[in-house]
Amino acid sequence: MNALAATNRNFKLAARLLGLDSKLEKSLLIPFREIKVECTIPKDDGSLASFVGFRIQHDNARGPMKGGIRYHPEVDPDEVNALAQLMTWKTAVANIPYGGAKGGIGCNPGDLSISELERLTRVFTQKIHDLIGIHIDVPAPDMGTGPQTMAWILDEYSKFHGHSPAVVTGKPIDLGGSLGRDAATGRGVLFAAEALLNEHGKTVSGQRFAIQGFGNVGSWAAQLIHEQGGKVVAVSDITGAIKNSKGIDVPSLLKHVKEHKGVTGFHGADAIDPQSVLVEDCDILIPAALGGVINRDNANDIKAKFIVEAANHPTDPEADEILSKKGVVILPDIYANSGGVTVSYFEWVQNIQGFMWEEEKVNNVLKTYMTKGFKDVKEMCKTHNCDLRMGAFTLGVNRVARATVLRGWEA
């Protein structure tokens, strides 16, 4: 099942549990606006190249829309639609005043020079500048984009609207980015795991973790779990996978990854088949890479008691059923990986106030939000007698539905 089908299915189940009327249900699913623009730039050799840029703005009942911009050769409209919708529910679960959006440009950033990427970003911004904005839609980095991309968008947007640091988040610190933003999603995963384990009378210390994906989120989660006394026993990335049942020395691994661009060849652990990380013997499994990695083919072999979804949509609905029968507790993505968008919200708040926070404050307030978020999800689980995924979806959908009705928007 693709991401859009799975997200729609979860939404419909949540709508049924909440007893939403069918008209309201339908209007909550339809995106607010879909934007598609042609971006033509001169390449370094003087030839012209055209790319398609787009932005899906899903819902703005609770506040400005928020979501990443990705540069990727295969930008699937269905997936982008699903991710925009997911952002609507995720921001509502986190209880931050945003709705969902997602966008990008169909290009291979590896094939373009820095100056070509800059021209492309600026042309894209020129085409959509009157459709985004501090109180309309606030983009952020995603696959193939980063702080530098945000800096170009900020600069180009500011030419039309005056200096507006709050128009994007995930900016470089020197242009109003927030301290703690880089580690935010991984730190949120740690706080989410802590909340879940506390519920079961456990702490992170002494638990064994397997982490699939060692990019920004996976590596920060591993580092912070290690600092809390958790044992990281297996890790994988695009280069390969490693395990050490006594626990991997995470600081040494981070150094190795920095030097060798991947976990492969790390001496403090044994190489294993990358596919087997998901079924390694551990207490908590953290998928932090791609969607759809836990499916009916491997769900039966998973040994973890808890799964904390750091990636978007890593578990197929079929696998969900198999795992719940086995008694595996899954902490869903729309709660577990919301640390990133929560700290993006803090960045936006700091920019609007023109007053920046210390990193310690960012981390403390993030912990408050994640802890409260878990309590809110558990309340919905009790009310509707459902699992954590449905608890999170009913919480998010209910908040958006209430805002929609209060604004008088329901059909």
Q: Which amino acid is at 86?
A: L
**Ranges of H-type helices in 52-146:** 77-93, 114-128
Question: pTM for the whole thing?
Answer: 0.93
Q: Could you identify the residue written with the tokens 């900020």?
A: 154
pLDDT of the residue at 292: 85
- Classified as helix, coil or strand, 102 is strand
Each of the 411 residues of the chain gets a pLDDT tens digit; together they read 677 888 899 999 999 999 999 999 999 999 999 999 999 999 999 999 999 999 999 999 999 999 999 999 887 788 888 889 999 999 999 999 999 999 999 999 999 999 999 999 999 999 999 999 999 999 999 888 999 999 999 999 999 999 999 999 999 999 999 999 999 999 999 999 999 999 999 999 999 999 999 988 999 999 999 999 999 999 999 999 999 999 999 999 999 999 998 999 999 899 999 889 999 999 999 999 888 899 999 999 999 999 999 998 899 889 999 999 999 999 999 999 999 999 999 999 999 999 999 999 999 999 999 999 999 999 999 999 999 999 999 999 999 999 999 999 876
Q: In this predicted structure, what is the pLDDT of residue 180?
A: 95
> Rounded to whole angstroms, how far apart are CA atoms 107 and 109?
6
**Active-site residue, 26 included:** no
| Nearest-angstrom CA–CA distance, 136 and 19 | 30
Neighbouring C-beta atoms of residue 20, cutoff 10 Å: 21
For residue 376, the Cα-to-chain-centroid distance in whole angstroms is 19
Catalytic entry in 12, 26, 43, 102: 102
Residue ranges at the known binding site:
66, 90, 185, 216, 344
Q: Which residues belong to the annotated binding site for NAD(+)?
A: 185, 216
Q: Are 212 and 286 in contact (CB under 8 A)?
A: yes
Other Cβ atoms less than 10 A from the Cβ of 354: the count is 9
* Bind-site residues for substrate: 66, 90, 344
* β-bridge pairing 137-141 and 99-106: unpaired
Of the CA atoms within 13 Å of residue 32, those in its CB half-sphere come to 23
Distances in whole angstroms, Cα of residue 406 to Cα of each of 84, 201, 376: 22, 40, 21
The reported pLDDT for the residue numbered 1 is 65
pLDDT of residue 411: 63
Helix ranges (DSSP H) in 129-183:
147-161
Q: What is the strand order of the sheet 329-331 is part of?
A: 270-272, 240-243, 231-237, 208-212, 284-287, 306-308, 329-331
